[in-house]
Structure 1
Amino acid sequence: MIDLYYWPTPNGHKITLFLEETGLDYAIKPVNIGKGDQFAPEFLAISPNNKMPAIVDHAPADGGEPVSVFESGAILLYLAEKTGRFLPGDARGRIETLEWLFWQMGGLGPMTGQYGHFHVYAPEQIPYAMERYRNEATRLLGVLDKRLQGRAFIAGDDYTIADMASYPWTDPYDKAPLDLTPFPEVRRWHEAIAARPATQRAYALTRQVNPDAGKPLGDEEREKLFGKAPARA
């Protein structure tokens, strides 16, 4: 059994995409980031950067004590190695997949996240920041579009953890959609992943876990998400 510490955000969706594809037994442990659950000592014990998702695997491959993993990219890699799925076994396929997994972790996720912050959540409009992150998110979509030319998925013909990492960050903000019109390969790829039954099951968890998803943030939620770091004990 895997305990998944989760809230329905793009990074959270990455892990439910994998778990629903593989059918691994898992239990969701909600981490309500709007209420500050990410700062609870018991959560920090497994995710010291106070970010979700995180997992605790109670049946690791070595048969030893439970293993905890934080950071969504590390979790995807851990689960792929545990199951032998969604990560190519050959050296070249593996490194290509990992290159694009880290591309998402270091580029697409952070830049699109900042785009969302300044277009959706910031208390005031800052034109320079809005333009800066829109341009960078758009540039990265262009990189992805070029990569997908002649390929069904990011690493080739097979769906991998690189796709699971990138898909939730492609156009995650309903209130500030990115223009995908110039990127036909991204649109084709995105539609193919959206049609997968496991994807639909993963995203259906959003309303189950957070019925208020999509509602405007209150002052307390905004402070928990974007305020100053809590004082150290």
Structure 2
Amino acid sequence: MSTKPIRVWLAPPGPNPWKVIFVLEELQIPYEIQSIKFQDIKAKPLIDLNPNGRVPAIEDPNTGLVLWETGAILLYLVEQYDVEKKLTYGGVKEKNHVTQWLMFQVSGQGPYYGQATWFHVLHSEKLPSVITRYVEEAKRVCGVLEQGLTDKKWLVGDKMTIADLSFVPWNDRLDVVLMCAEESKFEGFPKVKAWHESMIERPSWKKAMEIRARLMDEQGLMWNGMPKDVSNMEEYQAKIKAEKEAEAST
């Protein structure tokens, strides 16, 4: 039986959608991308799919399921499509340890890295104490991963799983989070560095990043996700508001 493509709704700048694309590529699950602009995330039609107004969201025509939250999506993909258990396990211990690390990614790494990026890069007012708080939390997350990789190559068992893959998009921009040179972003975390570098060399990740670069270029966006003529999020939001008011008056 042929599998119909899963539709993935995303805005190209953010890290979270690329966790889903990474896994879809690894499992060779057919998919199609519905790329939208940042200013359309909290508007129809996406808001009808995800009332939280976030990306990614997926529509799976094979099961009729609409799903949002990346952790839930990754668990669904391996449960529904990874029949050979390439990126997960069937045993109780290993399966739940995969879920454990995945939950740490969505509750620990993502939020702390995201806040560090916001206050370091996107926020117009620089608040040193706040920046220090989130930068230190990002380093703490790296420390947890470093300990989790003690005497092993992967977080769970003897193979790469969705738990490992889920950390890649945010770790790949850790230099932005920490505002440091790219070559020093994993300084003090050699196991994390080797683990991360082994995954970004995979064809699936390289293809995902090629797609991201193309979609970013189509929208005229810089590396930080903002248009080339703005320097912080307040300016971006003002630009969006002005464009909407201009549209409404025509």
Q: TM-score range by the shorter chain?
A: 0.7 to 0.9
Query: Per-residue displacement from partner, 1:4-49 (whole Å, max 9, x unpaired)?
Result: 001232101101100111111111000211xx11122221111110
In the alignment, which residue of structure 2 is the partner of 1:80?
78
Match of 2:59, SS state, is strand
When normalised by structure 1's length, the TM-score is 0.88
The 5 Å alignment of 1:156-171 reads 156-171=157-172
In structure 2, the gaps of 5 or more residues are 242-250
Query: Per-residue displacement from partner, 1:174-225 (whole Å, max 9, x unpaired)?
Result: 5424731100000000110011111111111111111124165536773289
Q: Which stretch of structure 1 is more off in the superposition, 174-183 or 123-132?
A: 174-183
State the one-letter code of the partner of 1:209: L
When normalised by structure 2's length, the TM-score is 0.82
Instruction: Go from structure 1 to structure 2 and tell me whether the alpha carbon gap of 1:153 and 1:89 turns closer, same or farther (over 3 Å shift).
Output: same
In the alignment, which residue of structure 2 is the partner of 1:49?
52
In structure 1, the gaps of 5 or more residues are 61-65, 228-233
- Tell whether the 8 Å contact from 1:12 to 1:53 is kept in structure 2 after alignment: yes
Partner Cα separation in structure 2 for residue 27 and residue 171 of structure 1: 24
Query: Per-residue displacement from partner, 1:112-141 (whole Å, max 9, x unpaired)?
Result: 110111111110110011000011000110
Instruction: Go from structure 1 to structure 2 and tell me whether the alpha carbon gap of 1:205 and 1:213 turns closer, same or farther (over 3 Å shift).
Output: farther
Partner Cα separation in structure 2 for residue 171 and residue 29 of structure 1: 23
State the one-letter code of the partner of 1:206: R
In the alignment, which residue of structure 2 is the partner of 1:231?
none
In the alignment, which residue of structure 2 is the partner of 1:206?
212
State the one-letter code of the partner of 1:222: Y
Partner Cα separation in structure 2 for residue 121 and residue 164 of structure 1: 26
The 5 Å alignment of 1:23-62 reads 23-33=28-38, 36-60=39-63
Query: Per-residue displacement from partner, 1:60-102 (whole Å, max 9, x unpaired)?
Result: 2xxxxx2100011111111111112412111111000000000
State the one-letter code of the partner of 2:62: A
- Tell whether the 8 Å contact from 1:206 to 1:213 is kept in structure 2 after alignment: no
In the alignment, which residue of structure 2 is the partner of 1:230?
none
In the alignment, which residue of structure 2 is the partner of 1:20?
25
- Tell whether the 8 Å contact from 1:104 to 1:166 is kept in structure 2 after alignment: yes
Measured after TM superposition, the shift of residue 173 of structure 1 is 5.1
Partner Cα separation in structure 1 for residue 235 and residue 102 of structure 2: 30
In the alignment, which residue of structure 2 is the partner of 1:185?
191
The 5 Å alignment of 1:122-137 reads 122-137=123-138
- Tell whether the 8 Å contact from 2:174 to 2:185 is kept in structure 1 after alignment: no
Equivalenced residue count is 220
- Percentage of pairs with the same residue: 32
- Tell whether the 8 Å contact from 1:116 to 1:173 is kept in structure 2 after alignment: no
Instruction: Go from structure 1 to structure 2 and tell me whether the alpha carbon gap of 1:171 and 1:201 turns closer, same or farther (over 3 Å shift).
Output: closer
Instruction: Go from structure 1 to structure 2 and tell me whether the alpha carbon gap of 1:142 and 1:174 turns closer, same or farther (over 3 Å shift).
Output: closer
- Tell whether the 8 Å contact from 2:175 to 2:185 is kept in structure 1 after alignment: no
